[in-house]
Amino acid sequence: MFVFELPEIGEGVIEGEIVKWLVAEGDLVATDQPICEIMTDKATVEISTPHGGRVARLHGDEGDVIKVHSTLAEIETDGAGAAVTPAPSNGLAAAPAPAAPAAIAAAPAPSATPVATPTAPAGKALATPAVRHEARKLGLSLQGISGTGRGGRVTRDDLARANAPAPAVAPAVPQSNAVPSGHEERIKIIGLRRKIAEQMVKSRFTAPHFTYVDEVDVTALWDMRRRLKGSAEAQGVKLTFLPFIIKALCLVFREFPNVNANVEEDPFTLVVKGDVNIGIATDTERGLYVPVVKNAEQKSALQLAAEIADVTDRTRAGTVSADELSGGTFTITSVGSIGGMFATPILNHPEVAILGVNRIHERPVVRDGAIVVRRMLYLSSSFDHRVLDGAVAARFTTALKKVLENPERLVLDLR
* Residue-level pLDDT at 44: 78
H/E/C letters for each residue in 214-245? EEEECHHHHHHHHHHHHHHHHCCCCCCCHHHH
CB 220 within 8 A of CB 407: yes
Binning pLDDT at 50, 70 and 90, where does residue 79 land? low
Could you check whether the bond before residue 350 is cis, i.e. omega within 30 degrees of 0? Answer: yes
Q: Which of 51, 59, 209, 385 is catalytic?
A: 385
Residue range 6-16: mean pLDDT, rounded: 84
**Residue 389 annotated in active site:** yes
In the chain, DSSP finds a helix count (H) and a strand count (E) of: 7, 18
Contacts of residue 75, Cβ cutoff 8 Å, sequence gap at least 6: 1, 2, 4, 29, 49, 51, 52, 53, 54, 55, 56
SS3 17: strand
CATH 3.30.559.10 domain position(s) in the chain: 208-413
Rounded to 10 deg, the angle between the 390-405 and 242-253 helix axes is 130
Q: Which of 41, 223, 275, 389 is catalytic?
A: 389
Q: What's the CA gap between 72 and 47, in Å, rounded?
A: 10
pLDDT above 90 coverage of the chain, percent? 52
Q: Which fold has domain 1-91?
A: OB fold (Dihydrolipoamide Acetyltransferase, E2P) (2.40.50)
Q: How far from 282 is each of 104, 202, 268, 314, 364, CA to CA, in Å?
A: 19, 20, 30, 11, 32
Q: How far from 251 is each of 51, 222, 246, CA to CA, in Å?
A: 56, 19, 9
Residue range 147-164: mean pLDDT, rounded: 75
Among the residue ranges 187-191, 316-320, 377-381, the one predicted with the least confidence is 187-191
Burial class (CB in 10 A: 0-12, 13-18, 19+), 109: exposed
Task: Tell me which residue of 372, 411, 413, 408 sits closest to 223, measured CA to CA.
Answer: 408
Burial class (CB in 10 A: 0-12, 13-18, 19+), 156: buried
Task: Tell me which residue of 275, 297, 259, 256 sits closest to 399, measured CA to CA.
Answer: 256
Task: Tell me which residue of 164, 102, 104 sits closest to 131, measured CA to CA.
Answer: 104
What are the pLDDT digits (tens) for 273-307? Answer: 999 999 999 988 878 889 999 999 999 999 999 99
Over 90: is that where the pLDDT of 80 sits?
no
Q: What's the CA gap between 330 and 384, in Å, rounded?
A: 12
> E-strand spans in 104-157?
none
Task: Tell me which residue of 206, 202, 350, 347 sits closest to 272, measured CA to CA.
Answer: 350
Residue range 196-223: mean pLDDT, rounded: 90
- How many angstroms from the chain centroid is the CA of residue 22? 22
SS3 402: helix
Over 90: is that where the pLDDT of 247 sits?
yes
Q: What's the CA gap between 298 and 296, in Å, rounded?
A: 5
CATH 2.40.50.100 domain position(s) in the chain: 1-91
Binning pLDDT at 50, 70 and 90, where does residue 97 land? very low
**Residue 349 annotated in active site:** no
Q: Report the CATH superfamily, name and number, of domain 208-413.
A: Chloramphenicol acetyltransferase-like domain (3.30.559.10)
How far is the first Cα of the chain from the last one, in angstroms, to the nearest whole number?
63
Phi, psi of 52 (to 5 degrees): -90, 170
Any bridge partners for residue 356, and if so which?
Answer: 333, 380
Over 60: is that where the pLDDT of 396 sits?
yes
